[in-house]
Amino acid sequence: MLVSIDAHTNELIAEMHASKYGLRIFEHILTSLTIVVKPSYQGHGVGKALITAFLSEVYENWPEVGRIGLESCSMSQQSIGLYKSLGFVQEGRMVNKTRNADSRYEDSLLFARTRPNFSFTLQVSS
């Protein structure tokens, strides 16, 4: 988990986390990447800075991770633009997955980012 704190107010303004499945066949994947930025701080680079720091941390300290996945609400164009600008690629859509506060349903978009130069070739010991 990474957090962002406003240096002037000492207030928590953003948080992000991801998890592993816990199964050997998926050990190369971090899934459910989640980022939440306080509304008054959105659009000011906080999310981008946090995701960039997270990617650096993963690539430096988790060599087995070759893929990071996340979901985004289909109506969240600002988030979708951010994910795409950071190298995440849309891989699918789950129709009517999320029910919003106003009881309308919304699709979830599936995104993933592959580590540059990661080898997905199975290494077999002899």
The pLDDT assigned to 123 comes to 63
What is the torsion angle, in degrees rounded to the nearest 10, for the CA atoms of residue 24, residue 28, residue 30 and residue 32?
-70
Q: Could you read off the pLDDT tens digit of each residue along the chain, which spans 126 residues?
A: 899 999 999 999 999 999 999 999 999 999 999 999 999 999 999 999 999 999 999 999 999 999 999 999 999 999 999 999 999 999 999 999 999 999 999 999 999 999 988 988 766 666
CA distance 22 to 25: 9
CA distance 31 to 69: 5
The pLDDT assigned to 113 comes to 97
Domains and CATH numbers, the chain: 2-114 (3.40.630.30)
The angle at the Cα of 121, spanning 119 to 125, to the nearest 5 degrees, equals: 115
CA distance 69 to 58: 13
The token duo for 41 is 């701080």
Q: Residue 91 contacts by C-beta under 8 Å, 6 or more apart in sequence?
A: 110, 111, 112
